[in-house]
Amino acid sequence: MLLTLAALAVAAALAGHRLVPDAGGVAVLLDSGLPWLGLLLPVLAVVALVTRARRGLLALVAPVLVWTVMFGTAFLPGAASGPGDLSVITQNLYAGNPDPRRTLAELADRGADLVAVQEMANRSAATALDEAYPHHVVVGTVGLWSRHPIRDHRPLDLGLGWPRALRARVATPGGDVVVLVAHLGSARPGATTDRDRSLAGLAEAVRAEGPRLLVLGDLNTASTDRRMGSLTDALRDAQREAGTGLGFTWPAAFPVTRPDHVLFRGLTAVDADVVRTDGSDHRAATARFALRGPTS
């Protein structure tokens, strides 16, 4: 009986996590750790087999199916493929990075067309990017480096009282693409006010933009967070569309969640991945897009 209840509880937590009240910061923890509930399933299965609990074993079918529908398809190869016309990488540099110059040089060496950086405490550390990219814009601690001309740019107000985001219009060979680079407020159990306010500001900015848009940055919001829908209702997720795996980026040593995102519309994602760089506590998120042909 207890095994059956445990199996059904896991299924309910997976399928109905958005209905769980956010009391004491439970919602952030549950939403961010949602994929990891799958680790309970083999444990429950072993217990059911050892104790010969047939009903408990049958009850496990429900959470296994729910988890597979929610996360299992992420481990299949991305549907789209091809060379792509525009490559991007986004990296939270980490304010406590012992050698930010080295990290930024690694980003430059990767050769993406667009490089988005957040939490850049020392502007002078970006020498390698300045030398490799003819166009760039920096606002506060966020920046964008581009191989293609930046037609215009401006700070983006996310309601935090200090600059944490920018908007740039990039003239790519396939036409203009608006790029938003953002570092949203921090989110911790019981303390998500700044994150929620800045997320709402970013969602408002996304709604005001045209059909061709990229959003790059550390959004301090897991891909499974209930509040992420304010963005993914209007944008698509490159990792989900063209990557393999769940794309966890934080913490860098052993990632357990994905606060770093490449979101888009009006383009076709052909590849997405996560790469580790030295010095940062986040891994970098990468993606490639086709600018011509069918749009997503």
Q: Which amino acid is at 273?
A: D
Quote the pLDDT of residue 190.
83
Q: Express each pLDDT in 61-113 by its tens digit.
A: 999 999 999 999 899 876 556 778 999 999 999 999 999 999 999 999 999 99
- Taking 80 as the threshold, does the pLDDT of residue 21 lie above it? yes
pLDDT at site 81: 62
pLDDT in tens, 261-287: 999 999 999 999 999 999 999 999 999
Strands (E), 93-242: 114-118, 135-139, 142-146, 150-155, 165-172, 175-183, 213-218, 236-237
Instruction: Report yes or no: 58 and 257 within 8 Å, Cβ to Cβ.
Output: no
- The pLDDT of residue 79 is 59
* Spans of all domains in the chain: 2-75, 86-290
**Whether pLDDT at 6 is above 80:** yes
Looking at domain 86-290, what is its CATH homologous superfamily? Endonuclease/exonuclease/phosphatase (3.60.10.10)
Res 137 pLDDT > 90: yes
The whole-number pLDDT of residue 76 equals 87
Taking the C-alpha atoms of residue 184 and residue 164, their distance in angstroms, rounded to an integer, is 7
pLDDT at 293 over 80: no
What letter does residue 188 receive in the DSSP assignment? B
- Cα dihedral 164, 167, 170, 175 sign: positive
- pLDDT one-digit tens code per residue, 219-248: 999 999 999 999 999 999 999 999 999 999
Closest CA to 247 of 202, 282, 198, 288: 282
pLDDT tens per residue across span 173-226:
999 999 999 999 999 888 899 999 999 999 999 999 999 999 999 999 999 999
**Range of weakest confidence among 50-54, 115-119, 165-169:** 50-54
Summary mean pLDDT of the chain: 94
**22, pLDDT greater than 90:** no
Average pLDDT over residues 56-62: 92
Residue 225 structure tokens: 């967070």
* Measured torsion, CA atoms of residues 60, 65, 71, 76, in degrees rounded to the nearest 10: 120
Predicted confidence at residue 294, as pLDDT, reads 46
* Chain segment 35-47, per-residue pLDDT in tens: 999 999 999 999 9
